C-alpha cells in the first residue's frame, strides 16, 4: 500500500515548513537572470531552482505552461525537474490546471498521476469547472498511487467571481467544490489528498472550509501582493494545512544558488513563525 499523499505532505511539512515555491521560467525572469529565452536558458534556470530549493523546501510547483512553450525540449526539462526534485526529497506539485471529461481526463491522469509516467508528479492542479464529477478519473488515479490533487476553488483573477461566486441553489459554485472535496476527504487521517487552490489576494473567503480535511494551496503570496496577515485574515487560525506559494518573490533572488536558497528559507521561516509553530 502506497503511503497517502496527505500523510507524505504532513510529514514533510513538519520537517521543512509550509512554503511552496513555484518554478516559473517566465521570459521576464529568464532575462532578469541573464539567460536566453531558449530551451538551454530554461534548463539552466530550472535546474538552478532545483539545486537551490529541492533539498530544503517541502513543495516545489513547476508551472507547466512555461516549459510547454519550448516544445519537446521544454517538456524534457520538466521531466528532469520532477525527477531531480523528488530525488532531493521535495514533493512536486505540477501546476497544469487540467480539466476535461471521460477518456481525455483519464489520459491526463495517466500522464501526471500514474506510476511509470515520465511526467508523474506528487500532485497536480485541476480545474473542476466542467463539474466536480468530471475529475473522477484523476481522483481515482491519485488515490490509487498515493498522489494528491489541488482543485481550483477561489482564484484571485478578476473574472473568477462570475463563475466561482455564482449560486447553485443556496450555495456558491465555490462552496459546492469545497463540499465535494470535503466529502472525499472525510475520515482520512492525517488529512485527505484532495486539496483546494484559494488565492492569497481574494479578500474575504465567503466559503466554509471547516470540513475540508485537506491541504490548501495559496498562490499570490509575495510578489503578487499577498501577505502573511492576508493569509491569517482569510484562513483564521487553521493555518496548519495552508501552503503559501511564492514564485517571483523568491525567484528574483537568483541566479545565485546561495542567494536563492537564503531567500526561500527566510520566507519559509517567516511563515513558520507567523503560523505560531516553534
CA dihedral 148, 134, 181, 125 (to 10 degrees): 40
Estimate to the nearest angstrom the gap between the alpha carbon of 168 and the chain centroid: 27
97 carries an active-site annotation: yes
- 153, 194 contact by CB (below 8 A): no
Collapsed DSSP state (helix, strand, coil) of residue 62: strand
Could you say which of 61, 73, 97, 252 is catalytic? Answer: 97
Q: Tell me how far apart the alpha carbons of residues 111 and 81 are, in angstroms, rounded to a whole number.
A: 16
Q: Cα separation of 126 and 88, whole Å?
A: 25
Whole-angstrom distance, CA of residue 248 vs CA of residue 95: 15
Spatial separation of the C-alpha atoms in residues 113 and 141, rounded to whole Å: 6
Judged by phi (left if over 0) then psi (alpha if -120 to 50, else beta), residue 222 lies in left
- Region of residue 172 (left: phi > 0; alpha: psi -120 to 50; beta: else): beta
The answer to whether 257 and 45 are in contact (CB under 8 A) is: no
Chain mean position to CA 154: 14
- Locate 224 and state its grid cell: 503578487
Instruction: Provide the β-strand partners of residue 242.
Output: 216
Enumerate the active-site residues. Answer: 97
Amino acid at each position: 500500500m502506497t503511503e497517502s499523499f496527505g500523510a507524505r505532505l504532513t510529514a514533510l511539512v513538519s520537517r521543512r515548513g509550509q512554503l511552496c515555491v513555484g518554478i516559473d521560467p517566465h521570459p521576464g525572469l529568464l532575462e532578469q537572470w541573464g539567460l536566453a529565452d531558449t530551451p538551454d536558458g530554461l534548463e539552466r534556470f530550472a535546474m538552478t531552482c532545483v539545486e537551490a530549493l529541492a533539498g530544503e523546501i517541502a513543495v516545489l510547483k513547476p508551472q507547466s505552461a512555461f516549459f510547454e512553450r519550448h516544445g519537446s525540449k521544454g517538456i524534457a526539462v520538466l521531466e528532469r525537474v520532477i525527477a531531480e526534485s523528488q530525488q532531493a526529497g521535495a514533493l512536486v506539485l505540477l501546476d497544469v490546471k487540467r480539466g476535461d471529461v471521460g477518456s481525455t481526463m483519464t489520459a491526463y491522469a495517466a500522464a501526471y498521476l500514474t506510476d511509470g509516467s515520465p511526467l508523474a508528479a506528487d500532485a497536480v492542479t485541476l480545474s473542476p469547472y466542467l463539474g466536480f464529477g468530471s475529475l473522477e478519473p484523476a481522483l481515482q488515479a491519485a488515490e490509487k498511487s498515493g498522489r494528491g490533487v489541488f482543485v481550483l476553488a477561489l482564484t484571485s483573477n478578476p473574472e473568477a467571481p462570475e463563475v466561482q461566486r455564482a449560486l447553485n441553489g443556496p450555495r456558491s459554485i465555490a462552496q459546492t467544490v469545497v463540499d465535494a472535496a470535503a466529502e472525499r476527504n472525510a475520515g482520512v487521517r492525517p488529512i485527505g489528498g484532495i486539496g483546494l487552490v484559494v488565492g492569497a489576494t481574494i479578500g474575504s473567503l465567503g466559503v466554509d472550509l471547516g470540513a475540508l480535511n485537506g491541504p490548501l494551496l495559496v498562490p499570490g503570496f509575495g510578489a503578487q501582493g499577498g501577505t502573511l496577515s492576508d493569509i491569517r485574515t482569510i484562513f483564521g487560525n487553521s493555518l496548519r494545512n495552508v501552503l503559501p506559494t511564492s514564485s517571483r518573490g523568491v525567484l528574483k533572488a537568483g541566479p545565485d544558488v546561495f542567494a536563492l536558497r537564503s531567500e526561500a528559507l527566510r520566507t519559509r521561516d517567516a511563515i513558520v513563525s507567523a503560523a505560531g509553530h516553534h
